[in-house]
Structure formats: structure tokens, C-alpha cells
């Protein structure tokens, strides 16, 4: 390992210290109050920052997977796509399985967890996996940080379980930057669980239209009345996204490249917004390959390596019964492009 990569690993490890207490995250100049509001009848937990919605953990049994949705920047602008839950003008209506901020995979014991959505016909559902919320383990509120710990089950269409998932979300604010730390532990149940090398995965957010790259061809979009247009149209109004990764690669070229982090930036309602997704140094395949598309899918995939490396690498990861593996990721949501904001992002990403 060269000296640069070693230093980067040490710095990222410090960012992800497992001792997530107040001494690791000293109070900011203006402390934020982060509350968790559980609405059982709606099957969601709202994460509120200073009384305003930041995101919601949604776990309704009709969903193919629990998600965080929406994701909202400090100014109140959503950075996640609204479709299929909320109709927003000029948004795409493709990939209905790209919802909010989620974690799943395209080939687990032959089941496709990634592409499952309401559009899958009943006769084809046996080919797809689903993730169901089991219970809440912990809801803990605190100044500048709150924890939400949940248990889930990865199962087939018949309800037979493959994996138990234990996920801890930590929501915090540092110097005005909103942070979501996700630590997910996957444990195989009574059978071997194979994650066959697959492009579709693993941790992802589908972003608002403004953060996409301009399209060169007509698309099916939502009109001003909130309805899907009957015909495709070319409309790039307000679309201005741009990627940058930890290796200095920009634009659509970040797709299929290994990097410790990727930053997606753009302007929403005259406000410069950045989403940064960071890989943990102890994750499998670090630094991960990025399945980051110009049309709004922003994903990291440590388990699917063949397509990204053009066949030079391949990873067929598996767990024996009772074995487990842990993945950890950090997401930053920041606003502003002045040097101070960029410096704070640099500090939090160890970039």
C-alpha cells in the first residue's frame, strides 16, 4: 500500500470511529436538535433537525425494501427523487425500484433484490427477493446526533429467510453539514448465502432531477400537473449535476472506477448542493467500484467487480450458515460552494 492510500485509510478510519459519542463529535457552533418521531400508523420514523424534516425511515410491509425517503438538504430542498411516491415536474419515471436511499443487491442465491418493484407481475415475483422490517432495536435521541437501530429480514417471495440484517443509522450535524452513517451487519441464516458478482448494487440513492446530467435524448417525464407525459420530451431545465471522486476523476467517467468517495454537486433553487458518499476502509473491496450514473443513480458496489473491471476482476462473495459481514457508509449533505464549505467536506471525507 502506498503512503497516500495508507494515510487516506487512517483518516477515514478516524471519521468512522466506532466510539460514536459526544467526545468524538464536539458540539458545533450552533448545536442542532435531532428528534426521532415514530408514526406507527404510517410505518415510518421521521428524523427531524431543529423541528424540520430531514428524512424518514419507511418500512411499510407493502414495500420491497425499507428506505430512507426523502432526503432533504438544510434549505429544505429534496436531494432525492420524488417518483414513485411524489410527483415532481420534470422528473423521470424510469427505474421504479430506485427509491430514496437504500441497500440491497442484484443476485443473492439467484434472487434479484435490486430490481424488485411494484411493476413486477405476480407470476414473476418468485424470481425476486424482498427485505422486510422485523423490529426496532433502539431509538436514541441526543444533541447533534440520534441513533435508529433496526432489524430486517432478506427473504424470497414465499417469506423464507436468507439473511438477518441489523442496521444502525446515526443522524448527525457538523458545522451545518448533515450526516447519515449507516452500519449494516448481514448474517446468513440456515443456508449458505451467495452474492454472485453482479452489476446491480449495493448502497444507493436516486437523486433529484437537478442533480442529474443533462440528457441528450427525449425522456418520459412528469408534467406540471403531476402526471406522466404521454410522449417523450427533451427538457433539461435546471439539470446541472457533476461528479468528482477521490482520485480527481470528474463527470460520468467516475462510473466503474474505484474510489474512496464520490461527490455529486449541482444547483437546486439557486442553492449549491453536494451529496458525498464515502466507503469505509474496512468494507469488502475497498476502495469500492462506483455504479454512479449520469441519469441520477448514485451507487457504490463492492460486490460486483467483473463488469466494472471489464473482466479483469471477479468477486463471488458468500456466507456460510451463521456467518456475518459488516458494511459501513457515510453520506454527507452540504450546501454552499464557498471555500469554507469545501474545506469542511474535505475534512469529513478525509479527501
CATH number at residue 297: 2.70.98
pTM recorded for the entire structure: 0.90
Q: Which domain holds residue 109?
A: 3-32+99-205+236-349
The pLDDT assigned to 143 comes to 80
Cell numbers at 10, concatenated: 487512517
Please indicate, yes or no, if residue 294 is contained in any of the structural domains: yes
Please indicate, yes or no, if residue 210 is contained in any of the structural domains: no
What is d(CA 245, CA 249) in angstroms, rounded to the nearest whole number?
Answer: 5
Please indicate, yes or no, if residue 171 is contained in any of the structural domains: yes
What is d(CA 104, CA 108) in angstroms, rounded to the nearest whole number?
Answer: 9
Per-residue CA distances from 136 to 150, 156, 167, 228, 302 (Å): 4, 22, 10, 37, 27
Please indicate, yes or no, if residue 147 is contained in any of the structural domains: yes
What is d(CA 279, CA 241) in angstroms, rounded to the nearest whole number?
Answer: 21
CB 45 within 8 A of CB 148: yes
The pLDDT assigned to 29 comes to 54
pLDDT digits (tens, 9 = 90+) for 125-171: 999 999 999 999 999 998 889 999 999 999 999 999 999 999 999 99
What is d(CA 149, CA 198) in angstroms, rounded to the nearest whole number?
Answer: 28
The pLDDT assigned to 6 comes to 38
Q: What is the DSSP letter of 344?
A: H
The pLDDT assigned to 339 comes to 85
Please indicate, yes or no, if residue 27 is contained in any of the structural domains: yes
Number of structural domains, the chain? 1
What is d(CA 212, CA 236) in angstroms, rounded to the nearest whole number?
Answer: 9
Please indicate, yes or no, if residue 52 is contained in any of the structural domains: no
Total number of residues shown for the chain? 351
Q: Give mean pLDDT in consecutive 10-residue pieces for the chain, a chain of 351 residues.
A: 42 42 42 95 97 98 98 97 94 97 98 97 97 98 92 98 98 95 98 97 98 96 93 96 97 98 96 97 97 98 96 96 98 91 85 39
Q: Which residues pair with 152 in a beta bridge?
A: 133, 165
Please indicate, yes or no, if residue 212 is contained in any of the structural domains: no
The pLDDT assigned to 338 comes to 84
Q: Taking Cα atoms as reference points, which of 185, 237, 232 lies closest to residue 212? A: 237
Q: What is the side-by-side strand order in the sheet with 271-279?
A: 130-140, 145-155, 161-174, 177-188, 324-335, 271-279, 261-268, 242-245
Residues 6+ apart with CB under 8 A from 140: 146, 147, 148
The pLDDT assigned to 9 comes to 43
Please indicate, yes or no, if residue 145 is contained in any of the structural domains: yes
Amino acid at each position: 500500500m502506498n503512503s497516500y492510500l495508507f494515510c487516506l485509510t487512517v483518516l477515514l478510519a478516524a471519521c468512522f470511529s466506532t466510539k460514536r459519542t459526544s467526545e468524538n463529535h464536539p458540539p458545533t457552533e450552533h448545536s442542532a436538535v435531532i428528534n426521532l418521531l415514530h408514526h406507527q400508523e404510517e410505518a415510518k420514523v421521521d428524523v427531524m433537525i431543529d423541528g424540520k424534516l430531514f428524512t424518514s425511515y419507511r418500512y411499510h410491509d407493502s414495500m420491497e425494501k425499507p428506505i430512507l425517503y426523502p432526503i432533504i438538504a438544510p434549505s429544505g430542498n429534496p436531494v432525492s427523487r420524488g417518483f414513485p411516491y411524489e410527483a415532481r415536474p420534470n422528473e423521470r419515471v424510469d427505474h421504479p425500484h430506485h427509491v430514496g436511499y437504500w441497500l440491497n443487491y442484484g443476485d443473492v442465491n439467484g434472487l434479484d433484490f435490486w430490481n424488485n418493484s411494484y411493476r413486477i407481475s405476480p407470476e414473476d415475483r418468485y424470481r425476486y427477493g424482498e427485505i422486510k422490517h422485523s423490529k426496532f432495536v433502539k431509538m436514541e435521541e441526543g444533541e447533534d446526533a440520534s441513533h435508529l437501530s433496526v432489524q430486517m429480514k432478506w427473504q424470497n417471495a414465499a417469506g423464507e429467510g436468507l439473511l438477518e440484517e441489523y442496521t444502525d443509522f446515526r443522524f448527525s450535524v457538523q458545522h451545518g453539514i448533515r450526516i447519515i452513517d449507516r452500519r449494516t451487519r448481514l448474517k446468513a441464516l440456515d443456508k449458505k448465502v451467495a452474492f454472485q458478482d453482479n452489476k446491480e448494487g449495493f448502497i444507493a440513492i436516486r437523486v433529484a432531477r437537478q442533480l442529474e446530467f443533462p440528457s441528450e435524448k427525449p425522456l418520459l417525464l412528469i408534467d406540471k400537473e403531476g402526471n406522466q407525459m404521454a410522449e417523450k420530451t427533451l427538457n433539461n431545465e435546471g439539470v446541472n449535476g457533476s461528479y468528482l471522486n477521490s482520485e480527481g476523476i470528474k463527470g460520468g467517467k467516475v462510473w466503474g472506477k474505484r474510489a474512496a468517495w464520490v461527490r455529486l454537486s449541482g444547483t437546486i433553487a439557486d442553492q449549491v448542493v453536494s451529496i458525498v458518499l464515502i466507503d469505509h476502509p474496512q468494507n469488502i473491496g475497498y476502495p469500492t467500484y462506483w455504479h454512479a450514473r449520469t441519469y441520477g443513480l448514485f451507487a457504490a458496489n463492492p460486490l460486483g467487480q467483473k463488469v466494472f473491471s471489464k473482466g479483469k476482476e471477479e468477486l463471488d462473495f458468500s456466507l456460510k450458515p451463521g456467518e456475518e459481514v459488516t458494511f459501513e457508509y457515510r453520506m454527507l449533505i452540504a450546501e454552499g460552494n464557498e471555500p469554507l464549505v469545501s474545506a469542511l467536506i474535505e475534512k469529513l471525507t478525509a479527501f
